[in-house]
Amino acid sequence: MDDAGQAKNEMIVRGACVTDAQAIADIYAHHVLNGTASFDTVPRTLDQTEQKIGDILAHGWPFLVAECEGVILGYAYATAFRDRPAYGFTCENSIYVRAQHVGQGIGAELMHRLLDEAHACGFRQMIAVIGGGEPASVALHTKMGFTFAGRMRSVGRKFGRWLDSVYMQAELGEGDRTAPAREPG
């Protein structure tokens, strides 16, 4: 069996904890410094990453890691899409995979679980804001049932070029076909 198959077969997806912060920070730093999926230009510090994990978990929202033999291969989380009460049933996702493990199905495993857990938290819609319109991210989101919701042209600038943001959206559970048990606010 090849290394990619072995990693996927032994991989687990679990809830993140603050002790995962260094690995998460390292994965994110690579994408910040080498790609356009994030519009950050300076990687988060360990303290900032610990704070982010803590904040998301304190809200009861999902923050997941994919792990194989003690190594974090990727992570994904859902946060509020906007902070106004009427957006309370809509979340935004974030997903990053360790560079040497991209294309091995880790993102799909994380996204599948993230969709389920975000729905369990009461979210009805998930938004993906894909920096740079990254083709691999668009492909992953399409594979996972997201549909194109819009493109904002040249809203970011990184590595000496203008970048678009692509918006994609997925319905969670009953979506807008039923009213929620509680109203926002």
* Predicted pLDDT at 6: 45
* Predicted pLDDT at 182: 81
Cα radius of gyration rounded to whole Å, the chain:
16
Residue 172 φ then ψ, to 5°: -110, 130
For residue 147 the two structure tokens come to 């549909």
Q: What are the per-10-residue average pLDDT scores of the chain (185 residues)?
A: 50 97 98 96 98 97 97 98 95 97 95 98 97 93 97 97 97 94 74
What angle, rounded to 10 degrees, do the helices at 3-10 and 106-120 form?
Answer: 20
Residue 24 class from Cβ within 10 Å (0-12 exposed, 13-18 middle, 19+ buried)? buried
Q: Which domains does the chain have, with CATH numbers?
A: 3-171 (3.40.630.30)
* Predicted pLDDT at 2: 46
Express each pLDDT in 145-171 by its tens digit: 999 999 999 999 999 999 999 999 999
* Predicted pLDDT at 25: 98
Q: State pTM to two decimals.
A: 0.92
* Predicted pLDDT at 9: 58
Distance CA 129, CA 95 (A): 11
